[in-house]
Chains A and B, each alone.
Chain A
Amino acid sequence: MTSSRETVLKAVRRSLQADSRDRAAGEAVEARLAEAPAGVVPARARRPHEEQIGLFIEMAEAVDATVERVDRTDAVPGRVADYLRSRNLAHSIVHGADAWIEELPWQTEPALERRQGRAMGDEQAGFSRAFGGIAESGTLVLTSGPDNPTTINFLPEYHIVAIRAEDIDGDYETVLARIRESYGKGRMPRLLNMITGPSRSADIQQTLLLGAHGPRRLHIIVVG
């Protein structure tokens, strides 16, 4: 009995007349997979780094994220606490095991409760660190794992994300190339989330409403 796999592949090959396809075709496929040539990259993404950061902030705000920028890493715990207070939220956050997060001077905010681990669904606010940022569309890139569990990106109503200014790049290609460097060619984190603004839906009469199933609000702290 031929497997469905063979049946499908055979049907595809028959339609494409793959027998008469020359060897160059196979080589072109190999080469494309190996070299991953870049295509058209918008000019707006290719600017000096400081301008990229500005564009990132502008684009993120345009999709209803709130953004603030701090000079020093030390300032982050205070900003997180301020944000929770300003929104009248419970003074607690859930975050992952990210060393950068752990090393923040949390002692400056003794009243802030922190829990390390995944989100369970009853937390008001989650805190993550982004792997990267994409200026051209104001997009955050987060990777799964114990450092920044995926559930934190989606379950809490408020998602606060810190990103180091040096991790902001112009375009998708640059950030994805960094992923390739970190995880190895052909490999990916289990989950890579590109997040552009807080969740929304236009399914009720084409009216755009914020806060569908994911976070209602997204707050970004750019560090550096």
Chain B
Amino acid sequence: MQITSPRFKLNAREAIADPQLQRALAHVQVGFIEKRSKAAGKLPEFDALRDSSRDIKNHTLANLDLYLEAYEARVTEAGGHVHWAVDAEEARKIILNICQEAGARRVTKGKTMVAEEIALNPYLEERGLEVVETDLGEYIVQLRKEAPSHIIAPAIHVNKDQIEADFRRFHTDLPPERNLEAPETLLAEARGVLRDRFLTADVGITGANFLIAETGTSIIVTNEGNGDLTQTLPRVHIVLASLEKITPTLEDVSQLLRVLARSATGQEMSVYTTFSTGPRRPGDPDGPEEYHVVLLDNGRSGMLGTQFQDMLRCIRCGACMNHCPVYHAVGGHAYGWVYPGPMGAVLTPSLVGVDKAGHLPNASTFCGRCEQVCPMHIPLPKMMRHWREREFERHLAPASARWGLRFFAFFAKRPALYRPLAGLAMRTLGALGRAKGRFRRLPLAGGWTSKRDFPAPEGKSFQAQWAQRRSGR
């Protein structure tokens, strides 16, 4: 996928000016937030489960090599194949190779963000394979030649009338006068069109929400059932998963499942939670004859042992973006790569480099809601701050920002100078702004005042008030 993260600011401005997108984004703010909070409220143990989930992942990450080896051994025992991929390029090649060995022409896909990460579809298509996305949202964005804009609701940026127009454009063998007014008819049409694709696919590719070391099992969690048809009907099933999906045991995964759906869609449990272990067995009347797992690193091993290790706890529930005011305003595409929202702002610089994605950690108001709702207690704001610091250290921040901060630091480190200067600045600003109580324009603060007024300070500085209160006691 083409990375457009370097032009985040421009992307964001365009997104805010796009009326279709703004209409669609209105749905994020109401639905998800309310449903999550209801589901969490109904389970008194929800917070204890979050703690337990965090601890499980911390333990797993600290011993990731050992769990990976245990997992691999179990997959092999069950008759599956594990392929290790250092980077995206290698993962693509492995998958192409499996498809070619199987003589595949048509490949169906369940929803997988890792496949987006390695830009799998164009690679396979350029090499003559037909790739069909089967998750309804993914199918819609595939028709539109777009990328998903949300990790669990890929087509959240699209409105119903746009979907209707797309279906009319692509499903040309259906009667043009058909009525597609109701959302139900759109769903039924997609079901009908995709049914045939499922039944005639040669290879099915899915992601994995979890990999279980105890049993060599991969798990997908879905609502539509498309992932199951994708992996059950073709002759070959390929699971594409990144390293950090490993979870030790069935008990551990039970903890994670209890927080996943509740945080994501506010369901107690998603409709289909499917545990797959190896290929078809003797006597099985259905299921794939081959079962492959492609284990992708692509930068994760480098995050271990750093201040970004915590990010690898992420279970891709999407709660952080559902609750993010920046995401609400600009949607997912503005982030310019696969992973949007707060989790993307932390993960993208780790995976593609801070030079390309340096703007993303700045796309935050530091309101802290993402961390509050993250089921894995990932300190997203703190990690965005780490990235800002790194960006600063590497001189990637604009010169004005660097000089400004240096200027501030000089005084901040010298309280004897800072206090009188801050007091003077406040009195000056206060006097100048007294009439209106706010400034429409301020020198050196155009970035702020071009969008909103700057309130004129009232009274004394915090430090002065603090000193007064303490001496008053």
Query: A interface vs B, CB < 8 Å?
Result: 3-5, 7-9, 11-18, 21, 25-26, 28-29, 32-33, 36-44, 59, 62-63, 96, 117-118, 121, 136-139, 144-146, 149-151, 153-155, 171-173, 176, 179-180, 186-207, 209, 211-215
Contact = CB atoms under 8 A, between A and B. Distances in A.
Contacts of A40: 45, 48-49, 52, 255, 258
Interface residues of B, number: 102
A187 B399 CA distance: 59
A14 B273 CA distance: 34
A37 B251 contact: yes
B268 A13 contact: no
Sort A-B residue pairs by CB-CB distance and give the 10 closest, nearest first: A214-B225, A212-B224, A203-B137, A15-B304, A11-B301, A194-B273, A36-B249, A192-B275, A15-B305, A172-B254
Nearest to A96: B285
B271 A203 contact: no
B277 interface: yes
A201 B136 contact: yes
Contacts of A146: 283-285
A8 to B, nearest CB: 5
A136 B284 CA distance: 30
Nearest to A195: B272
B364 interface: no
B137 A180 contact: no
Interface stretch (B181-189, B202-210, B440-448): B181-189
Contacts of A16: 62-65, 304-305
B274 interface: yes
B275 A191 contact: yes
Interface string B8-35: 0000000000000000100110010000
A196 B271 contact: yes
Nearest to B23: A205
Given A186-B214, A206-B31, A206-B153, A176 B254 contact: yes
Nearest to A37: B251
26 contacts: A5-B84, A8-B295, A9-B68, A59-B268, A63-B271, A137-B269, A139-B273, A144-B286, A145-B283, A146-B283, A150-B286, A173-B250, A176-B254, A179-B250, A190-B277, A190-B287, A191-B275, A196-B269, A200-B271, A201-B187, A206-B156, A212-B187, A213-B194, A213-B226, A214-B225, A214-B272
Contacts of B232: 150-151, 154, 191
Nearest to A117: B285
A186 B248 contact: no
Q: Which of A12, A26, A43: most chain B CB closer than 10 A?
A: A12
Contacts of B270: 196
Interface in B172-214: 183-184, 186-188, 191, 194-195, 198-199, 213-214
Nearest to B64: A12
Given A36-B252, A194-B272, 18 more contacts: A15-B302, A25-B66, A26-B63, A39-B252, A43-B45, A63-B269, A121-B195, A151-B285, A153-B228, A171-B254, A188-B215, A194-B273, A196-B273, A197-B271, A203-B154, A204-B155, A211-B191, A213-B136
B140 interface: yes
Contacts of B254: 39, 171-173, 176
Q: Which of B154, B217, B243, B250: most chain A CB closer than 10 A?
A: B250
Given A205-B24, A205-B159, A191 B274 contact: yes
B233 interface: yes
Contact of A214 (B224, B248, B258, B273): B224
Nearest to A218: B271
